[in-house]
Structure 1
Amino acid sequence: MKQPPATSASDLHSLFDAHAAELAPHLLGCELTVTTARGPVRVRLTEVEAYGDQGEDPGAHSYTGRTARNASLFGPPRRTYVYLSYGIHCCLNLVANAAGAGGVLLRAAEVMDGRELAVARPGRQGHRREAPLRARPTGTGAGGDAAHGRLCAGDL
């Protein structure tokens, strides 16, 4: 897949009003920082997945319409939609094209700063992970190699 040209912050902001499939490629390479009381963790997005609008994409949580669980997909764009997958993985989506209820799943990222904090961070319900944070293949997306970890696997 050909990478889109570099996108300015204002262009990226306006892309959230477009279909998720238009936004998704522009998110690759973007950096996100989570700041906690213990310090920041900064990641660079290496894999994203666009989901179509209500009634368009059977894989989208908005496909069958608005529910209490997926309501944020129908709200204004530039919000997050987080859900628990298989009872163990918290998956982070960015809402795009709120009129159509599309979203972009943030699938994988490379930890740029704060790796020690990311590795030590407790898992769900305050329990520490039994296994340490490991790099896993990402399958598709930019930089799909073992140097990148899966975001929706609860690594951060």
Structure 2
Amino acid sequence: MKLNSIGLDADKAEQISSDLNVLLANFQRYYQNLRGIHWNIKGKRFFDLHIKFEELYNDANMKVDMIAERVLTLGGVPFHTFEDYNDNSTVPVGKNVTKDEDAIHLIVDSLKELLLIERKILNTSDEAQDEGTNSMMSDFISEQEKTVWMMKAWLAEDI
């Protein structure tokens, strides 16, 4: 087994880096969706939601950077083109979303996709003893699960 410069199995680190790039692409789409609903939301809940969506897109922007830096740490090259993002994303595209409930559903649906990818990476990174990636995924998952719960509560829907 060949180890990389941070002591991980090089082949496993390459696979994790590849999976993180898929997560990166999906986070970029999620981020752009959040920007769009932040800009375009209308209605009586505008002020509250406008602020909340800004909070969420700032958080997503930080996570994009964290993911890209982790890809680099593992020896990979982070995706950085819209073509890469579109070709590797499963997060739904939110185009011209202006209604509050539609916006919240878009967030929940997007987070569901992110959580599926993160859980896959969590399992892979655990098997590779990659604590750096594992810790990041654990943090992302717990934060996003809470956000889903809050969004579902706002919608008055069961989790």
Q: TM-score range, shorter-chain basis? A: under 0.3
Which of the two has greater strand per residue?
1
TM-score under structure 2 length normalisation: 0.25
Higher RCO (Cα < 8 Å, 6 or more apart): 2
| Bigger radius of gyration among the two | 2
TM-score under structure 1 length normalisation: 0.26
